[in-house]
Amino acid sequence: MENKRENFGSRLAVIFAMAGSAIGLGNIWRFPFMVGEHGGAAFILIYILATLLVSLPVFICEVTIGRRSRQTAYNAMPTLKPGLRLGRVAGFLSVLVPVVLASYYSVIGGWSLEYFFQAASGRIVRQSPAEVTTVFETFISSPWMPLTTHLLFLGICAFIVARGVKSGIEKFSKVSIPVLFFLIVGMLVYSVTLPGSAEGVRYMVHPDFSQINARSLAYALGQSFYSLSLGAGAIVTYGSYVKKSENIIVSSAATAVSDLLFAILAGLAVMPAVFAAGIEPGAGPGLVFQTIPFIFSSLGANLPIISTVCAIAFFLAITVAAITSEISLLEVAVSYLHDKFGLSRVWSSVLVFVFCGLVGALCSLSFGPLAAFKLSGMGLLDLFDWLCSNVLMLLLSLISVIFVGFFLGKENLRDELSNGGTLPLGRGLFNILYFAIKWVAPIAIALIFITNFIL
């Protein structure tokens, strides 16, 4: 099967594709409001440490499982350790989690697409600041427009995945990731030049540790997992496309650092503008779709052309980031159908589009006609997001590190990371990494569970 499996063409392609999976709405939409709710720079420092000390070892585990097995996320662990019940559980979760994620993620991706259209038409700049919140609430509660943008966004992503690893995912990632960095740096420059933005910059670089508590620590680690797409089957699947000659540690570290850098740049692009507009930094999930349009509409009266261009660039960045993450989630299900049932990538993509389109439609309608339908006090989109982020992704990540730390075998891990002994791998570095995988990561994930359900 290995000689039939597509591979990424180069190390740069591996890094761009995996960075594309990692860099998404979690960076531009979720990270800034998490920073705003949990103490600014202090949260960022904890986030960086959590990524390097815990999330990076988990990331390496998932890439290792994928490349060593050369299988989809569903078959990876059963192939490496036949008969292990833990592997079968992981296989089931590796298909369930990304499909659920992709279904509701495409709804939010549709929102970003709608706001890009609004920015391109000049509508955001023409709105009065008082209208911004009302426009967003009216849009998401409408039965048809959010469904249309959800399906359009999902269709774009399914088309890219249907084209294959090299012709679809790799080509798109090679173009989109550099464009994303260019756009977010441009937004950062614009943001820090606004009157009153200096306080936002200070908020991002001067830590206030009095705002940090046990829940903040758990949220920082949870955000790191969410941002790097850990526990979603995507990294295992992408790992199966990595050549045997590729250095897993270098590629994984480059991906993690790229994700960290982009998240910080996104925070620096958003927070100064938030302070310049006099908006509360802990405004929550509406920070991007309600407060950022408020900023552009406020400036539109005096600087209509500049405000329009910046609004287009900002929501283009959000849309592209959402697409790069969505295609990694769809790829898990498409590769499963393709490998297990022999379906073509096109038909696999069509089936996944239909399923995610239907589930996503229910999530979209949970803000409108189905708003009264609640489970545990949450609408469908909020419920799926909570289940995936706080339960399923953490559980799958925990299984991955336990599998590599206790079942794959230390020498098998060394063999994979050193490419059969052809790459230099110091014993000290390997022992530290192995300790982090076997003990630090599982304990950290368990602590997140405890914090989420008890505190």
pLDDT at 283 over 80: no
Place of tokens 């833990």: 86
> Structural domain of residue 23, as residue ranges?
2-454
In the chain, the number of structural domains is 1
pLDDT at 330 over 70: yes
Return the structure tokens found at 134: 């009302």
Q: Residue 284: what pLDDT?
A: 57
Q: Residue 97: what pLDDT?
A: 96
Q: Residue 3: what pLDDT?
A: 42
By C-alpha distance, which of 445, 416, 59 is closest to 234? 59
Tens of pLDDT, residues 192-206: 888 888 988 998 988
In order of 154, 357, 414, the CA distances from 426 in angstroms are 44, 48, 10
What sign does the CA torsion over 200, 206, 211, 216 have? positive
By C-alpha distance, which of 442, 195, 176, 113 is closest to 321? 176
pLDDT at 455 over 80: no
pLDDT at 15 over 50: yes
pLDDT at 454 over 60: yes
| Contact by Cβ (8 Å): 218, 313 | no
| Contact by Cβ (8 Å): 376, 413 | no
Higher pLDDT among residues 276 and 200, named by residue: 200
Average pLDDT of the chain to the nearest whole number: 89
The one-letter amino acid code at 40 reads: G
Tens of pLDDT, residues 350-378: 999 999 999 999 999 999 999 999 988 89
Tens of pLDDT, residues 42-70: 999 999 999 999 999 999 999 999 999 99
pTM score? 0.92
H or E element in which residue 56 lies: helix 56-69
Tens of pLDDT, residues 90-125: 999 999 999 999 999 999 999 999 999 999 998 888
Higher pLDDT among residues 369 and 22, named by residue: 369
In order of 90, 119, 228, 229, the CA distances from 62 in angstroms are 12, 38, 11, 10
Return the structure tokens found at 132: 């911004």
Q: Residue 350: what pLDDT?
A: 97
In order of 32, 135, 273, 409, the CA distances from 280 in angstroms are 12, 20, 11, 50
Mean predicted confidence (pLDDT) in 31-47: 86
Tens of pLDDT, residues 133-150: 788 889 999 989 999 999
Mean predicted confidence (pLDDT) in 71-89: 94
Higher pLDDT among residues 227 and 334, named by residue: 334
CATH of residue 319's domain is: 1.20.1740
Tens of pLDDT, residues 246-270: 999 999 999 999 999 999 998 898 8
Q: Residue 114: what pLDDT?
A: 95
